[in-house]
């Protein structure tokens, strides 16, 4: 029998989100989170490097999913189709978790240090995506631009989806954004 419950990681994430909602991020400690989850602080640190990482822990499962969708040789090879496929894979994985993602994003948006950590993590992901696209045959400069566009599109779609309970799904927003990016590039200033 394990020394700590198998669902400790999930319980720690849930406890942290609840405490961050109740007390605020700054006033919630690792000890508070561990106590609320029914585990020790040592168990907390087996799963997370620090309190901030609780908010980004699920991201560790998303990057391999994204990379697998990009590296899959049976999929589309055109840039737009390739990006659409990868971003829709991410959207499908995130859609069922809307409520917890919304709570998470509100906490991140409330702390400049967390927003910075989110952007730093995305920058690392973007480098990984760029390398994967290069391995798929895209020239480095194009792969870098595609990764940047993909992240910007997805981030904008995700934030709009989290803010709007009655609008289109995340997948629909991503598809629409991919279609609209061409028209944005064709727009001229009205000045």
- Fold annotation for 56-182: Tetracycline Repressor; domain 2 (1.10.357)
Mean pLDDT confidence for 104-112: 93
Cite the residue boundaries of each domain of the chain with CATH code 1.10.10.60: 8-53
Over the chain, what is the mean pLDDT? 89
| pLDDT category of residue 95 using cuts at 50, 70 and 90 | very high
Q: For residue 145, what are the contacts with CB-CB under 8 A and spacing of at least 6? A: none
Q: Which pLDDT belongs to residue 101?
A: 92
Q: Which pLDDT belongs to residue 5?
A: 62
Number of residues written out for the chain: 191
DSSP-derived secondary structure for 84-122: HHHHHHHHHHHGGGHHHHHHHHHHHHH-HHHHHHHHHHH
Structure tokens, 8: 């400790």
Token look-up 């997370």 returns 48
For 75, which DSSP code? S
Per residue in 41-72, pLDDT (tens digit) is 999 999 999 999 999 988 878 999 999 988 77
Mean pLDDT confidence for 85-89: 92
**94: nearest Cα among 169, 38, 15:** 169
Cite the residue boundaries of each domain of the chain with CATH code 1.10.357.10: 56-182
Instruction: Give the whole-angstrom CA distance, residue 158 versus residue 121.
Output: 16
Q: Which pLDDT belongs to residue 72?
A: 74
Whether the predicted pLDDT of 182 surpasses 90: no
Q: Which pLDDT belongs to residue 92?
A: 96
Options 1.10.10.10, 3.40.50.300, 3.40.605.10, 1.10.10.60; CATH of 8-53: 1.10.10.60
Whether the predicted pLDDT of 2 surpasses 50: no
CA torsion, points 120, 123, 125, 126, in degrees to nearest 10? 170
């Amino acid at each position: 029998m394990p020394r700590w419950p198998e669902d400790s990681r999930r319980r720690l994430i849930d406890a942290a989100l609840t405490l961050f909602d109740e007390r605020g991020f700054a006033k919630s400690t690792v000890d508070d989170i561990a106590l609320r989850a029914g585990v020790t602080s040592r168990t907390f640190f087996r799963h997370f490097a620090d309190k901030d990482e609780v908010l980004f822990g699920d991201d560790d499962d998303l990057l391999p999913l994204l990379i697998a969708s990009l590296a899959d040789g049976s999929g589309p090879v055109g840039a737009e189709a390739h990006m659409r496929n990868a971003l829709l894979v991410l959207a499908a994985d995130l859609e069922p978790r809307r409520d917890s993602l919304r709570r998470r994003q509100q906490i991140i948006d409330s702390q400049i240090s967390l927003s910075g950590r989110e952007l730093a993590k995305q920058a690392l992901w973007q480098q990984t995506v760029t390398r994967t696209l290069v391995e798929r045959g895209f020239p480095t400069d194009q792969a870098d631009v595609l990764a940047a566009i993909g992240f910007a599109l997805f981030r904008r779609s995700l934030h709009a989806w989290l803010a709007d309970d009655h609008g289109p799904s995340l997948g629909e927003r991503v598809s629409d954004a991919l279609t609209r990016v061409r028209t944005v590039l064709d727009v001229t200033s009205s000045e």
